[in-house]
Amino acid sequence: MLDMATSAPNIKGIYINGEWQQTSRQFDDTNPNDGSLWARIPDATCQDARRAIDAAQAAFPAWAALKFQDRANIMLKVAQIIEKRAGDYIPAAQFEGGGWYGKGVYETKVMPEMLKAAAAVCYAPIGEVLPSLNGKVSNAVRFPMGVISVISPWNMPGILATRPFSVPMAMGNTIVLKPSEETPYQGGLFFAEVMEEAGVPPGVFNVITCSRDNVAEVGDEMVDNPKVKGVAFTGSAAVGRRIAAKCGAHLKKACIELGGKDSLIVLEDADMERATSSASFGAFMHQGQICMSVEKVLVQEQVFDEFLKGFVARAAKLKTGNTADKANVIGPLINDRQAARVKHQLEDAVAKGAKIAIGGGVNGRFVEPTIVTNVTSDMDIWRDETFGPVAVVVPFKDDFEAVAMNNDTEYGLSAGIISRNEHRAMQMATLLETGMCHINCSPINDEAHAPFGGAKASGMGRYGGRWSQESFSETRWITLDRGQKQYPPVF
């Protein structure tokens, strides 16, 4: 079934201080399915970013002073508007982002939940009462920091913008959001439209978009500007390292969520239906362009053949093609660079002895669901993040070897373990060098109130619930003395 609503919405400009503003230049936002022009997007400069930061700084005192229940009500209103506007977001997910129709539906379900969870954080404790050596009333209290820069990616642009801004904004921080140049509407301007409709006060939420040509200077402004008190970044490890280093030099808080080389570990007692479905969803959802995507399936050797047969059968059912057809679950990769990266990894693996169990075809930006066997640790596909619809399937002998194989990467975001023995799986989970692990489920999991983040090169800091509070607030010690602390007599 073809969905012909491929045209972009009206692009009003960048959004600063509650107003839509034009820029002197625009850039092309293309449909990755066919390379056609989807929209013309404002190309902001570092001066525009500075104006957005100034607006956020000016709005901060009043927003932070607003009653917490009023901020919560605004977040709930934003959630309601996103639910109402799902029909606007889903086509953008298909034709700006190249996603399957169902992927767009998924994002429109998750974003409101994140905003509702953020509203709930407004009612959570913000500190604690401490004992005092001198009989004081001693309090440790969390306060919002000020302006938070949010730099979000293209792969799950709705969720990966909402996650970093929702709780900080609900707490009383103000936001400057810069979405990826690949998905500037889904990841940014859509939210500006929603915030305007919700009546969010001017300056509390600002959106600037820019081209790849301007991204370095705009990004530097969003990190280096002294009015910015915290940075939330989701993206590549190379850029994340640079941002984290700059934040460290400026003594700013940062929450950095980067890539992964995530494993699904299938033990010999696994339910094969659950194992193969977890692998298929984990490896091929949104063409494998998710930071938690399954890139390695580690299978105990006793059930390797059985698992591989079932996994290949599932992959064979997935249709590849233009996401205007809702039946096409596997759409294009986001751009030609990413397609070339995946093609290189496959060619390198085959040249070094790997076997293609199914797929392997690369037609422009479209990559067939691909399963690779006979993989060794000297292949790029074993070491480097793939970010495409490709999974390697490798046998292991025992639990210790599986753990070692999982940990044989600089990344450490998420993992999954499929086993009927929960105690055994829990023991293994404690040994995995990952920020998250999900037993009898895919590594792809996200719940708004849970701690989300990785270890090693997959990032630092945590999003979600009180963990976002910790990442984007400062703790102050406030005491009330009632005359009991005595000073030395000499004073």
Catalytic positions, written as ranges? 257, 291
Which residue from 453, 472, 461 is spatially nearest to 170, judged by alpha carbons? Answer: 472
Q: Which residues contact 185 (CB under 8 A, 6 or more apart)?
A: 8, 9, 11, 29, 39, 41, 92, 96, 179
Q: Which residues contact 391 (CB under 8 A, 6 or more apart)?
A: 279, 282, 283, 284, 288, 294, 295, 296, 297, 311, 370, 371, 372
CA gap 286, 102 in Å, rounded: 9
3-state DSSP assignment of residue 429: helix
Q: Are 312 and 268 in contact (CB under 8 A)?
A: no
Q: Are 234 and 440 in contact (CB under 8 A)?
A: no
H or E element: which one contains 418? strand 415-418
Q: Which residues pair with 42 in a beta bridge?
A: 26
Which residue from 35, 32, 26, 2 is spatially nearest to 93, judged by alpha carbons? Answer: 32
Which residue from 256, 187, 248, 222 is spatially nearest to 56, judged by alpha carbons? Answer: 222
- CB atoms under 10 Å from CB of 484, counted, come to 10
* DSSP-derived secondary structure letter, 271: -
Please state the length of the chain. Answer: 491
Residue 156 identity = M
Which residue from 368, 348, 70 is spatially nearest to 201, judged by alpha carbons? Answer: 70
3-state DSSP assignment of residue 250: helix
